[in-house]
Amino acid sequence: MTPRDASDDSSRWSDLERPPLNAGALRRGLVRAGGLWTGVEVVQSTGSTNSDLVALAAAGKAAEGTVLVAEEQTSGRGRLDRQWSAPARSGLFFSVLLEPGDVPVARWGWLPLLTGVAVATGLSRSAGVDTALKWPNDLLVTVGEEERKAGGILAERAGDDAVIVGVGINVSLREDELPVPQAGSLALAGAVATDRDPLLRAVLRSLEHWYDKWRAAGGDPVASGLQETYAAGCATLGRTVRAELPGDRSITGEAVAIDGDGRLVLATEDGVQEPVGAGDIVHLRPA
């Protein structure tokens, strides 16, 4: 789908409780000489900001630090090609182009976890909501006494030199708008603010901060403080989980650590510590 610029659609004012993003103000607040963010584009609707930015990168039409934001995604994708959809202007749906060429490729797997730390930190400061991270890429909030997913992260390679990181965050979704009962939103979690402009600025500034620290350390998760910070905010650690792996294989055990490669380490009943680098993690309730 070809993205439509937000300024071209008068219907953007149809829900006054969900005003459109101000692209000009976002650029003024984020794009600066010597900074990471080189451009911010806001479109009214598109299939997937990740897909669009991958295509722009392949065509040489996007530089590092490009941010593409959609007021609505009609074919947003999560991990394992799951669909992500929400009402227009009810959340933050954006992708960024990163080129960490001075970091060994073996450490690029930390980028989704880095983004999780940045998103959680930025939202804590700007929305006043306590968030937690479910390995590897989910943002959790508490609604009532229930843990729910309010956001997700998807990283994709774009050629040999770039990574596109996409983020989706439910901001103002009401209970009757949730796609599944296990979903949540910042509003339902008691956010003190749901104005998406300052929320997006806070998240992107936090992402710039962590990305700069990580790159300065050559991608070293220990030297940059990333591994320790991620572990401190990870709701998966210390819990019994089931890892559903490719090939219809699964492992159950206690999540005991995040290793130097960003993998989740499970201690199984057999006394084996097994790292999981890819898979679907299910938090199991205590017996």
Q: Per residue in 222-241, pLDDT tens?
A: 999 999 999 999 999 999 99
- φ, ψ of residue 90 to 5 degrees: the values are -95, -5
Strand segments (E) across the chain: 4-5, 39-45, 66-70, 76-77, 83-84, 91-98, 132-134, 138-143, 146-158, 162-170, 240-245, 249-258, 264-267, 273-276, 280-283
What confidence score (pLDDT) does residue 285 get? 79
According to DSSP, the β-strands at 39-45 and 66-70 are parallel
Is 0.85 topped by the overall pTM? yes
Q: What's at 44, amino acid-wise?
A: Q
DSSP three-state, residue 223: coil
Alpha-carbon span 231 to 120, nearest angstrom: 13
CA dihedral in degrees (131, 132, 138, 144; nearest 10)?
-60
For residue range 111-153, what is the model confidence (pLDDT) as tens digits? Answer: 999 999 999 999 999 999 999 999 999 999 999 999 999 999 9
Q: What pLDDT is attached to residue 84?
A: 57
If you average pLDDT over residues 78-82, what whole number do you get?
Answer: 52
Model confidence pLDDT, tens digit, residues 147-183: 999 999 999 999 999 999 999 999 999 999 999 999 9
pLDDT for 243: 96
Rounded Cα distance, 158 and 161, in Å: 7
Phi, psi of 212 (to 5 degrees): -65, -45
What is the mean predicted confidence (pLDDT) over 98-114?
A: 97
Average pLDDT estimate for 51-63: 96
Q: Who has greater pLDDT, 59 or 79?
A: 59
Question: Under DSSP, is residue 93 helix (H, G, I), strand (E, B) or coil?
Answer: strand
